[in-house]
Amino acid sequence: MSYFQTRIKFVPCVPGGTKRPLRLPDSARPGVVDGEHARGCAIVSSTQFPMTAEDMIRAAISLIESRKKKGARLFIAIDGGTGAGKSTLAKEIRGRRGNVSILRTDHFFRPLKEYPASSLSPEKLYDLYFPWQRMRDDALIPLRRGETARYQRYDWSADALHDWITVEPQELVLVEGVYSSRPELRPMLDAAIFIDAPRAERLRRVLARAPNQSPDWLTPWMSAEDWYFAHVRPQDTADLILPSIQ
């Protein structure tokens, strides 16, 4: 299946500098855009051209390679809505690069039974769903120090904190999941990828994953995501924006 990129992202090459793109190299998108890496700039994804899943994986890896520093550990967020393809992209990157740890935001979610989600505003739900301080303190800070992170994982089926797991400080740490590039965490990240998938398609995928599950949780959940995308706008600070990936 082919996908079409729908966004172009520009950022200053240096603070206060002229806006110019860091183009995808030939290895990321043969025959579509040429050019060299521009130091400190965001990647610009092309419009008008079909992008396959393979193209998108290569573009993500290209971004990672452009941010590598000798002896330094990289932290890359993969953000986007439920059902956008974030986990798929993270697994593909890990399969191709090795020495990759995946830190998932959904391991840190607050149990739904602790608050009346259906009666709260999207803004309030945005604050409640993901206690980012726990991810920061229990995982990101230790990993950035080169230490193993150990934390209690949220279990969706039990709607409770469950087993204790560890994440090793590999050369590359992918912080995968919605809210992974929220402003409070952005200073701890080296770059952010945003997967910009249509809401209707994301909803279809979520319902297809569990056709017999009650969707009651989904309406408030997606309203919080909508608020995040409309008001916090992580897509505006992303270094790479990709269309939906399966």
Q: Categorize the per-residue pLDDT at 2 as very low, low, confident or very high, splitting at 50, 70 and 90.
A: very low
Q: For residue 84, what pLDDT is reported?
A: 94
Q: What is the mean pLDDT of the chain?
A: 82
Q: Which domains, from first to last, does the chain contain?
A: 2-103+170-242 (3.40.50.300)
pLDDT confidence of residue 77: 98
Dihedral over alpha carbons 26, 14, 143, 241 (to 10 degrees): -50
More confident residue, 208 or 138: 138
The average pLDDT across 227-240 equals: 97
Q: What confidence tier does 70 reach under pLDDT thresholds 50, 70, 90? A: confident
* Residue 50 · residue 4 · CB < 8 Å: yes
* pLDDT beyond 60 at 8: no
| Owner of token pair 């739900």 | 125
The CA-based angle 195-88-110, given to 5 degrees, is 75
Does 154 have pLDDT greater than 90? yes
pLDDT tens track for 18-60: 333 344 443 444 333 323 333 344 444 444 456 788 999 999 9
- What is the value of pTM for the model shown? 0.82
Find all residues with CB under 8 Å of 125, minimum gap 6, and list them.
117, 220, 221, 223, 224, 227
Work out the average pLDDT over 158-174. Answer: 96
pLDDT value at residue 31: 32
Task: Give CA–CA dist 87/105, Å, rounded.
Answer: 11
Is the pLDDT score of 217 beyond 60? yes
| The pLDDT of residue 98 | 85
